[in-house]
Amino acid sequence: MDVFFEQFKPASSIAEYLALGSKEAEVQTLGFELEHFVVEKGSLAAVPFSADLAARGGATPGASVEDVLEALKPYYSERVYEEDDEGNPHLFGLGREKAAITLEPGAQLELSIGPAHSVKEIEQLYRMFREEIDPLLDARGLCLLELGYHPTRQARELSLLPKRRYQYMNEYLAQTGSHGICMMRASASTQISVDYTSESDAITKFRIANALGPLFAFITDNSPVFEAETVGLLGGTVEVATSGLAVPWRMVRMVCWSDTDPSRTQIARGGFDEDFSFLHYAEDLVDAPGIFLPAGAAGTAGPEYLGFTTFRQRLADEFLDEATILHILSLFFFDARFKGYLEIRQADSMPLDYALAYAALIRGIFYNPEALAYFARRFQYVDAAAVAFALTALRATGFDADVYGRRAWEWLDEMVSYASAGLAEEEAVYLEPLAELVRERRTLMEVLHHRRLKDGWDDYAAI
């Protein structure tokens, strides 16, 4: 593979890599990523990555995320270790066939599943993971929590993993917006990936994913708390948290992403242009600030901080190997992004039944030719400005929001209808939790928040 790429220059090599990701129409697999907060039972206090590092910072040593990963090792054939700045090795990830555990910057635990051929397969693999990890967590007085934002801590109170990649990102993002720290340390998401059959099919799906993105974010909004304050929609009376950040009314994660880094978040530049292509996408990446290069990329002896130096400036006309291409693709966090497949990223972390419903929704739309044709036609005049307006309207007025000239509930009804029609009977049942929300004109945040008020955080964590 690497030899093949030696004939291409940076942007062209990235574009060619994306083209090589095309699959046969019959494949239609899904990727599934669900991020969790590891918290103490009862208090839902944040759990540090490493008890040793926490102790050095003055905290009392105790259970840690790394300790849980160490206990999980017998179930996984692959282990990922990296050294901190003092040369101490730490376990940052585990892997096996179709499943990988990784950690986000604030020690959020992510399970990645795929490629999966059905929502049922995703459910089976996820439940296997929970059967293994839950007893280990329970023995330590811990649990996993699926929320879009940390329920009890402000971002600045959460420690950053001792990983060079995240240190570089933290330094860079502190200069590009106010919410980078929130995104890195205190947010969690559900991400679904779909295949494409050609560049044309990829661009069609990319545009539809971006146009539907505000509606995806709205119906999967699962962030009743921001910076330890209740969001305004749910009766919060604090407009500005003690961190100094304004408390949003809805869709906390999308608020964070909109103020993180305009060169690598929201919608890729030109994504709705008629001539948009893999090459245009790649050109946008190489012309953006690079942040850093890992050891070995472009002849680097060790990790190299780039900051605002672009990949084009640093790499010039050097040929890219596959590892460098994958590194560049991973450093951009658009609402929908290409990685040899299309990753759809607008949803909050959610309890399993809702996360599976969301996977079914994506499958039923993006692998349904009738749905793709319909939404492509309806969105032919949508652009990035219209998407931004839709997000603002949804935050303000919810189901009655004006989204591309129609009420939000009309779009959501159609989305559920097309998804249901595009799924086999055994998969359509997975759609029901989100379909019920749409019928009742309620969001996930409202349902789970009211259950929290009734039964408390302990019951909420067990949903």
**DSSP structure string for 53-92:** HHHHTTPPP---HHHHHHHHGGG-SEEEEEE-TTS-EEEE
Closest listed residue to residue 248, CA positions, set 237, 257, 261, 239: 239
Closest listed residue to residue 260, CA positions, set 301, 289, 217, 220: 289
Question: What is residue 400's predicted lDDT score, i.e. its pLDDT?
Answer: 98
Where do the H-state alpha helices sit in 140-274?
164-173, 180-186, 199-219, 252-258
Number of neighbouring beta carbons within 10 Å of residue 381: 9
Q: Which residues share a beta bridge with 83? A: 89
Question: What is residue 301's predicted lDDT score, i.e. its pLDDT?
Answer: 75
Q: With H, G, I as helix, E, B as strand and everything else as coil, classify residue 101.
A: strand
SS3 track for 131-161: HHHHHHHHHCCEEEECCCECCCCCHHHCCCC
Question: What is residue 463's predicted lDDT score, i.e. its pLDDT?
Answer: 43
Number of neighbouring beta carbons within 10 Å of residue 162: 18
Question: What is residue 411's predicted lDDT score, i.e. its pLDDT?
Answer: 98
Question: What is residue 455's predicted lDDT score, i.e. its pLDDT?
Answer: 63
C-alpha to C-alpha distance for 188 and 185, rounded to whole angstroms: 9
Number of neighbouring beta carbons within 10 Å of residue 378: 16
Phi-psi label, residue 97: left if phi above 0, alpha if psi -120 to 50, beta otherwise: beta
Q: Which residues share a beta bridge with 142? A: 40
Q: Residue-wise pLDDT tens for the chain (463 aa)? A: 444 444 447 899 999 999 999 999 989 999 999 999 999 998 999 999 997 654 444 444 578 999 999 999 999 999 999 988 888 899 999 999 999 999 999 999 999 999 999 999 999 999 999 999 999 999 999 999 999 999 999 999 999 999 999 999 999 999 999 999 999 999 999 999 999 999 999 999 999 999 999 999 999 999 999 999 999 988 888 999 999 999 999 999 999 999 999 999 999 999 999 999 999 999 999 999 999 998 877 777 778 999 999 999 988 777 788 989 999 999 999 999 999 999 999 999 999 999 999 999 999 999 999 999 999 999 999 999 999 999 999 999 999 999 999 999 999 999 999 999 999 999 999 999 999 999 999 998 888 777 766 666 555 554 4
Question: What is residue 4's predicted lDDT score, i.e. its pLDDT?
Answer: 46
C-alpha to C-alpha distance for 250 and 232, rounded to whole angstroms: 8
Closest listed residue to residue 283, CA positions, set 323, 314, 320, 311: 311
Those residues whose C-beta lies under 8 Å from the C-beta of residue 456, and which sit 6 or more positions away, are none
The dihedral sign for the CA sequence 316, 322, 324, 327: positive
Within its chain, how far is the Cα of 103 from the centroid?
Answer: 12
Cis omega (within 30 of 0) for bond into 115? yes
C-alpha to C-alpha distance for 131 and 109, rounded to whole angstroms: 16
Question: What is residue 58's predicted lDDT score, i.e. its pLDDT?
Answer: 40
Question: What is residue 454's predicted lDDT score, i.e. its pLDDT?
Answer: 62
C-alpha to C-alpha distance for 67 and 363, rounded to whole angstroms: 36
Question: What is residue 462's predicted lDDT score, i.e. its pLDDT?
Answer: 47
E strand or H helix at 345: strand 342-348
Phi, psi at 198, each rounded to 5°: -165, 175
The architecture in CATH of the region 2-461 reads 2-Layer Sandwich (3.30)
Phi, psi at 21, each rounded to 5°: -75, -10
Are residues 166 and 84 in contact, defined by beta-carbon separation less than 8 angstroms?
Answer: no
Per-residue b or e along 235-245, where b marks 16 or more CB atoms closer than 10 Å to that residue's CB: ebeeeebebeb
What does the angle CA 444 – CA 449 – CA 451 come to, to the nearest 5 degrees?
105
